[in-house]
Amino acid sequence: MFSVLAAESLELAVKFIDIGSLSVPVTVFIVLAYYILLPPRIIQPFVAAVSGSVLYLAALASVLPVHSSSFVNSAVYLLLANAFGAFFLYTFGRSLRREYAAMEDLKKLVAVDELTGVCSRRRVLEAGDCLFKSALRFNSKLSVLMMDIDHFKKVNDDYGHCVGDEVLKETASRCSDVLREVDHFGRLGGEEFLIILPHSGVHDGIKVAERLRSCIRERMFKVGESYLPVSVSLGVAELRGHDDFKSLIQEADEQLYRAKKCGRDLVCPAGLKIVRQVHLNEVSVK
């Protein structure tokens, strides 16, 4: 913009006799068009427009008396054009910030479960689908865990949904502390969670599942003045001949159902017997 106004200033100084009567309206129009058609998003373009306007007035002052009506009118026109630009920059910037904040809130709403702070259902399923395809392509290991809080409906019925929400948040927090940064942990809905373990086979999945089960079971949940015993059941499945990520989740879900059917507070891996106790340094399958 500064270059355009500098060119206009040079043209004015050289050809004032021929174009002086038309140069001011054209220049003001250029400034206005600059703000309207190319709205500046940072302060530098605004500074360029103001500097160019000052340069143009300086060129005009070299060929017209400063006190003349033509010069005064030109200065007023350019002042109004830049005042409009400043107002437009301010309001446009506020609008952009509001739009950006709304977009960020929308992204966060889509990607993060509002209650627990872990991945949303949509986000964890999208991540799982990508990891599944990557594991197939590079022939790497992949395990998934389906986790469900035992007797969660009874917690809601006996203590209310507020206490149930606190149990969900504390469960998610404890599990997040156990998992690696590369693992994906999300809430599918209600009291059901999905954990995706890249580069992990079924035995690695069993170890992680048992850590999760232990971190929930070992310490009672303090909610207000109440202490609640909480346990979880987990199903483990490994990528092995599955057609898609949905079938892998379905197998883990079937193992979760088997764990709940066999008494809950258990880890049930696909293709193996139910895990009743797993030490952190070795897998013990009974």
Mind telling me the catalytic residues?
191
For tokens 């021929």, name the residue.
18
Specify the pairing of strand 232-238 against strand 221-223.
unpaired
Gap between the Cα atoms of 250 and 119, Å rounded: 19
Closest CA to 220 of 263, 268, 166: 166
Q: Within 10 A of 256 (CB to CB), how many other CB atoms are there?
A: 24
Task: Report how far residue 233's alpha carbon sits from residue 150's, in angstroms, rounded to the nearest whole number.
Answer: 7
Here the tokens at position 179 are: 């998992």
φ, ψ for residue 143 (rounded to 5)? Answer: -130, 150
Helices 202-217 and 161-178: crossing angle in degrees, nearest 10, is 130
